[in-house]
Structure 1
Amino acid sequence: MNHTVTVNVDVATLRQLDDLRRASPTVPSRAQIITRLIWDAHAKIAAAAEPVEG
């Protein structure tokens, strides 16, 4: 299920999102850039929370 969320950002942030989109040509939209950033951050948090074996 998808939800629409309105996020207010300034022009500089929109330019950064567009730069990220141009750097990743397989990502067609700002929304997908934001989604990937969230998932990447979540993966880093989850990896840091995993106990270290040994």
Structure 2
Amino acid sequence: MAGEYLLKQFNKRGGHASEYSDVVFGKVVSKSPLKIEVSNTLILTEDFFNFRA
């Protein structure tokens, strides 16, 4: 499966968990303050995101 392949690649590369990122799709429910709904029971606030240029 794709998830198993990715996990093997991460383990082979090594490094720290903070060097990896997750891609999560959701719906913006508020622009200010930023809130993104990723499931019926989970809304992420801007504290969960790390925006870099």
Higher relative contact order (CA 8 A, sep 6+): 1
More helix by share: 1
Q: TM-score, normalised by structure 2?
A: 0.28
